[in-house]
Structure 1
Amino acid sequence: MAERLTAREAIALVTDDFTPLSVPGRESSGSDGPIRWAGYDASRARAAASTGEDESVLHGTATIGGRPAVLVAFEFGFLGGSLGRAAGDRLVAAYGTAEERRIPLVSLVATGGSRMQEGMVALTQLQRVAAATVRLRESGVPHVAVLRDPSTGGGWATVGAGADVVLALPSAQVAFAGSRVRPQDADPAAYTAEDQWKHGHVDALVRPEELRGTLSLWLRLLSGDPAPGTGSAPSPGGPASPAPAPPPRALVDGGPPGTGWAAVSRARDPRRPRAGAYLDAYFEERAAVRGDRAGGVDPGVECGFGIHAGRVVAYAAQDGSATSPAGFRTVVRLVRLADRLGIPVLTLIDTPGAANDAEAERSGAGPAIADAFAALAGARVPVTSLLIGEGGSGGALALAAPGNTWAAPDGYFSVIAPELAAAILKRPPEQAPATADQLRLRPQDLVELGVVRGIVTSEA
């Protein structure tokens, strides 16, 4: 089990300084609360005496790594960090302050859920938080959540899971179902931060001693301003016309291939540079988002934000494997977040095609690919794409920016793999090389056909 930090300890762990905001609205004390739960006033008094806090939520302004933020911290020692009407008032006020001041929101979550002593009044706070989340997103202000132990119930399902980037302390309980309401035969691993990370609901597991530095980097990236210690969120809706990211330079020397089959062979060469090498060469710093937020992670797709030549660029990269529905959904998540924050996007294309096994079909391959096409077509920020290897059919084209796709010398794009084209045409397998020539899939063919803008070189 993770160490249970108090709200004040968590605040001290991640901030340079913290200034509480005035308490808004009504408080829940007196007359045993909104549903007149006998003994509630006494319970609140005991919680206040033991924690030194007057509610389960603290909120204020802070600096993290020299950058301004609005901070929310849950105090689990105060009635299990539960959400009641007064806690809801503070959460809504914090979201509103972040929106008004245009600085990121950071939430340090530790809660058991809604406060039963306030009945449905407590539960409706989730609707208020959801509405505040929508307003914050529409304003283009980012939200980073840190899941402490425990993060369960409505606090996880709104404040935590509703954030743009979700970090978690190792071994923390993270689940919608609290420890006392789970089925007795349930797998205990399913209720941990590690399992939520494994299934794409948490972006990163971060040790306490690394949390301040990790948050500082994320605030720089999501604010679109990489300079340490300065900056604020982008203007509403993001910049009107951010400059597109330049395509990476090629990591191989040599001219375009002489034949179609030579292009295919070069793209399939296991020694060819993959997405990781391109990302390492392109970015000075970067941090990844993980998973599709629907239970899926594709290890063959890397998404995140990085710093290139003094500016922030979002990236989505295929690593040469068949892309699963979870991979496409993660790309969609990345593109839409970058679009909302006004950050340009770079995609690296390298896949033999979309995964086509039975599990992929059951997981929604078609809808996931369609959504990826729609996300790139609808992006208001510029998207730049580079074909770095195989460009197999729609699974590759779904990551290609219309009108701004480039090719590396060892890449190819094809409507279908040459071997499959030969099979469909009832040609013998040895006709695959000739079929590759007919498909006109070489980089120089793609330029001539207007599919790509040009071929990048190894020159800086």
Structure 2
Amino acid sequence: MAERLTARRFLALLTDDFAELPHPHREDGPDGPLRWQGYDAARARAAERTGESESVVCGTGRVDGTPAVLLAFEFGFLGGSLGRATGDRLEAAYAHARAHQLPVVPLVATGGSRMQEGMLALTQLQRVARQSALTRAAGLPQIAVVRDPTTGGGWATLGAGADVVLALPGAQVGFAGSRVRPRDADPAAYTAEAQVAAGSADAVVAPGELRRTLGRWLRLLTGPSGVPAPVPEPLGARDLPATGREAVRRARDPRRPRARAYLDAYFTERAALSGDRCGGTDPEGMLCGFGTHAGRTVAYAAQTGAATRPAGYRTAARLIGLADRLGIPVLTLIDTPGAANGAEAERQGAGAAIAAVFAAVASARTPVTSLVIGEGGSGGALALAAPGNTWATPDSYFSVIGPEAAAAILKRPPDQAGATADQLRLRPQDLAELGVIRTGDQVFPGTGDRRSGARP
């Protein structure tokens, strides 16, 4: 079980200059709107025990140098439950964030809505959702830290609804609290670690690392530029393949540099975005996140050379959508033999997931730069390619279909796959001639401006 800190202690863990915001004062009749007997006494005891007058403390502070609005829940005050006064404070804090163009950091520890205020408490979730939506529309990031416990509507709005979700180790996290879930439910499913594995949270972060990690995310997500991401340097072969079959052989060479090598060379620091928020992750097929290149933030979605699963495509679509909203340029690295095509991938919605990436790239207002670094297998690769701004390295290929599958469809024997590769015109120089990719140093060394991505 994660250590349970008070709201003030948790704020002190993250910032040295926290300043509480003024908040509305609500006058209720005796025992609140439902006249719940003993409610006033319960609030008085909670205030005496915690030193707080409500279940949330809202204010501003710098996290590792970046200013933000922080919303810290006090679980000791009636279980961190949301009531009307809680909603008042949250609404005012979100409004302050928009007025001053500050990111919002919910530090969530709550059991849900306050029973003593009935449906009036539950409807505070609608207020929170509205404020979050307005803040999202204003182009401001929201990074949640879910503490122990984070359940009910607080998880379903302030927590899971954030752009990035960080969680404390061992924290109880889930929509159903411990007293209302089925008796035979596996408690391991309601943990921070389980939420990361299910794609509903991005990372588990130890308390001692939280200030640095949260600070990195805030720096990365508050640095829009609108300038296209420069094309990465090719890390492998520099000469062009003589034949189509040679291009395929190079792209499939296990010694060829893969996505992680390109990301390491391109970024000075980066933070990973994980999960599709639909129950899945694809760490073996797709790497997504934000990083710093030449002092600017760039978002990345990088295929790793494996067949990409539906969760990988949905995570990439999530990444591109977030970068677009925040005005951050995107770099995609294309390297897959194709989308995963097994029965399980179909059950997980492969077509819809790929469609989501096509739509995200097509509708993005922020610039998208694409580089084919290995295999470019059919639509599963094309989904990540930016029309008019796709490049290719000399040890890559891009094809309507893999040569083996093409030969099979044409009813050719397997030993004709190489000849079929030649016919498909899938080499980088063929693609440039066909106008599928841009020409420059990534295709013809020494003929273009790699830094600007300009044509020769």
Runs of 5+ consecutive residues of structure 1 not aligned to the other structure: 225-233
User: TM-score, normalised on structure 1?
Assistant: 0.95
Contact 1:199 1:291 in 2 (8 A): yes
In the alignment, what sits opposite 1:7? Answer: 7
In the alignment, what sits opposite 1:228? Answer: none
Deviation at 1:65, TM superposition (A): 1.2
**In structure 2, C-alpha distance between the alignment counterparts of 1:325 and 1:416, rounded to whole Å:** 19
In the alignment, what sits opposite 1:273? Answer: 257
Secondary structure, aligned partner of 1:17: coil
User: TM-score, normalised on structure 2?
Assistant: 0.96
Deviations 1:248-272 (A, max 9, x none): 0100133110000000010001111
Kindly report structure 1 stretches of 4+ aligned residues shifted beyond 4 Å: 457-460
Q: Aligned letter for 1:141? A: L
In the alignment, what sits opposite 1:452? Answer: 437
Q: Aligned letter for 1:13? A: L
Deviations 1:273-324 (A, max 9, x none): 1000000000000001100000000012010000000100000000001111
Alignment partner of 1:442 is 2:423: no
Alignment partner of 1:389 is 2:374: yes
In the alignment, what sits opposite 1:284? Answer: 268
In the alignment, what sits opposite 2:101? Answer: 102
> Equivalences for 1:83-102 in 2 at 5 Å?
83-102=82-101
**In structure 1, C-alpha distance between the alignment counterparts of 2:15 and 2:33, rounded to whole Å:** 35
> Equivalences for 1:25-424 in 2 at 5 Å?
25-28=25-28, 30-224=29-223, 242-299=226-283, 300-424=285-409
Deviation at 1:455, TM superposition (A): 5.2
In the alignment, what sits opposite 2:453? Answer: none
Deviations 1:183-242 (A, max 9, x none): 010011100000001111111110001110111111100001xxxxxxxxx6xxxx6xx2
**In structure 2, C-alpha distance between the alignment counterparts of 1:406 and 1:206, rounded to whole Å:** 36
Runs of 5+ consecutive residues of structure 2 not aligned to the other structure: 451-456
In the alignment, what sits opposite 1:231? Answer: none
- Taking a change above 3 Å as real, the CA distance of residues 352 and 265 of structure 1, as seen in their structure-2 partners, is same
Contact 2:274 2:315 in 1 (8 A): yes
Secondary structure, aligned partner of 2:18: strand
Contact 2:39 2:116 in 1 (8 A): yes
Alignment partner of 1:428 is 2:413: yes
**In structure 2, C-alpha distance between the alignment counterparts of 1:25 and 1:339, rounded to whole Å:** 38
Q: CA RMSD in A?
A: 1.1
Contact 1:407 1:456 in 2 (8 A): no
**In structure 1, C-alpha distance between the alignment counterparts of 2:94 and 2:358, rounded to whole Å:** 32
In the alignment, what sits opposite 2:454? Answer: none
Q: Aligned letter for 1:132? A: Q
Contact 2:64 2:211 in 1 (8 A): yes
**In structure 2, C-alpha distance between the alignment counterparts of 1:384 and 1:390, rounded to whole Å:** 17
**In structure 2, C-alpha distance between the alignment counterparts of 1:246 and 1:436, rounded to whole Å:** 30
Contact 2:155 2:175 in 1 (8 A): yes
**In structure 1, C-alpha distance between the alignment counterparts of 2:16 and 2:363, rounded to whole Å:** 39
**In structure 2, C-alpha distance between the alignment counterparts of 1:131 and 1:175, rounded to whole Å:** 21
Deviations 1:340-381 (A, max 9, x none): 000000000000001111111111111111111010000000
Q: What is the number of residues matched between the two proteins?
A: 444
- Taking a change above 3 Å as real, the CA distance of residues 270 and 455 of structure 1, as seen in their structure-2 partners, is farther
- Taking a change above 3 Å as real, the CA distance of residues 265 and 27 of structure 1, as seen in their structure-2 partners, is farther
Identity %: 72
Contact 1:409 1:456 in 2 (8 A): no
